[in-house]
């Protein structure tokens, strides 16, 4: 069955907008420190994660259209212009639009370093997740469909791995609602948001995947059902190598 997937990039100027749906709490601790907003001159917004002071990780579909991009720090409103963008060579926009798994991963090199209030995250060790384990996502956007409530406020949600997780795609659901009724989950505005390894939830901020898409309950179009991740198990080496080539080597 083809999922009715909702893309997660949102225009700041749009009226209908979504984010981590449901009554998600504000992001805090390891989930709040590394995340930043990725915005462009068209008013679009995605979520990104600092890996170093001048390098952020996001979803490839957030940066496919030629535009002027910049990163905004939610804590103090500081911005940094984008210098270079590197999308994973395996990313295929046609596959993404058709709800097929693809390498939805991109790195962005900044022209100036982020302020000290942003604490870079680290990549989790490559591993396959198991059904039932918990991952935490954190992103920006509104909290209620069709409104601007919560826009640009970081929120987080702990979600459970469901389905048949693999190296190309991971599906998450709210363990309280189990994709049967609306619950917590990623939605428009959360593209590129980090998914933190449950094993690293003790303030380590280890990124194991990137939010790519969502559905409403029972695989209908919308949010609050499933949250789709691009796992980093296949792309970790590319991230490390590309970060070094961009002059921003990652910490071991």
Tell me the pLDDT of the chain averaged across its residues.
Answer: 86
The per-residue pLDDT for range 120-135, each reduced to its tens digit, is: 999 999 999 999 999 9
Report, as an integer, the average pLDDT of 62-91. Answer: 96
Is the predicted pLDDT of residue 163 greater than 70, yes or no?
yes
Separation CA 56–CA 24 (nearest Å): 24
At 240 the three-state DSSP class reads helix
The per-residue pLDDT for range 8-38, each reduced to its tens digit, is: 554 433 322 234 655 677 788 889 999 999 9
Domain ranges of the chain: 6-26+122-231, 34-120+235-245
Q: pLDDT at position 83, please?
A: 97
CA-CA distances (angstroms) from residue 18 to 129, 220, 235? 27, 15, 28
For the chain, the first-to-last Cα distance in angstroms comes to 41
Nearest to 223 by CA among 177, 185, 193: 185
Q: Which helix (H) or strand (E) holds 36?
A: strand 35-40
Is the predicted pLDDT of residue 216 greater than 90, yes or no?
no
21: which 2 tokens?
């749906």
178: which 2 tokens?
């189990």
186: which 2 tokens?
């990623």
Which class is 6-26+122-231 in CATH? mainly beta
Separation CA 14–CA 35 (nearest Å): 22
202: which 2 tokens?
């003790």
Instruction: Decide if 6-26+122-231 and 34-120+235-245 have a common fold.
Output: yes
Q: pLDDT at position 141, please?
A: 67
Architecture of domain 34-120+235-245: Beta Barrel (2.40)
Q: pLDDT at position 151, please?
A: 65
Weakest-pLDDT range from 25-29, 45-49, 111-115, 182-186: 25-29
Separation CA 227–CA 158 (nearest Å): 11
């Amino acid at each position: 069955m083809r999922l009715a997937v909702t893309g997660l990039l949102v225009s700041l100027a749009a009226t209908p907008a979504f984010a981590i749906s449901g009554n998600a709490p504000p992001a805090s601790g390891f989930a709040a420190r590394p995340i930043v907003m990725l915005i462009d001159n068209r008013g679009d917004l995605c979520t990104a994660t600092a890996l170093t002071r001048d390098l952020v990780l996001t979803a490839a579909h957030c940066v496919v259209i030629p535009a002027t991009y910049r990163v905004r720090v939610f804590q103090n409103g500081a911005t940094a212009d984008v210098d270079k963008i590197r999308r994973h060579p395996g990313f295929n926009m046609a596959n993404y639009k058709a709800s097929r798994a693809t390498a939805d991963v991109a790195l962005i090199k900044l022209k100036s370093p982020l302020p000290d209030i942003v604490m870079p995250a680290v990549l989790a060790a490559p591993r396959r997740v198991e059904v039932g384990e918990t991952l935490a996502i954190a992103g920006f956007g509104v909290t209620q469909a069709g409104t601007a409530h919560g826009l640009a406020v970081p929120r987080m949600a702990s979600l459970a791995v469901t389905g048949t997780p693999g190296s190309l795609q991971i599906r998450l659901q709210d363990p309280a609602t189990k994709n049967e009724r609306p619950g917590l989950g990623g939605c428009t505005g959360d593209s590129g948001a980090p998914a933190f390894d449950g094993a690293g939830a003790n303030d380590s901020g280890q990124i194991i995947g990137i939010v790519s898409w969502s559905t409403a309950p029972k695989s209908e179009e919308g949010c609050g059902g499933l949250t789709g991740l691009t796992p980093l198990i296949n792309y970790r080496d590319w991230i490390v190598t590309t970060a070094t080539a961009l002059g921003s080597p990652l910490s071991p």
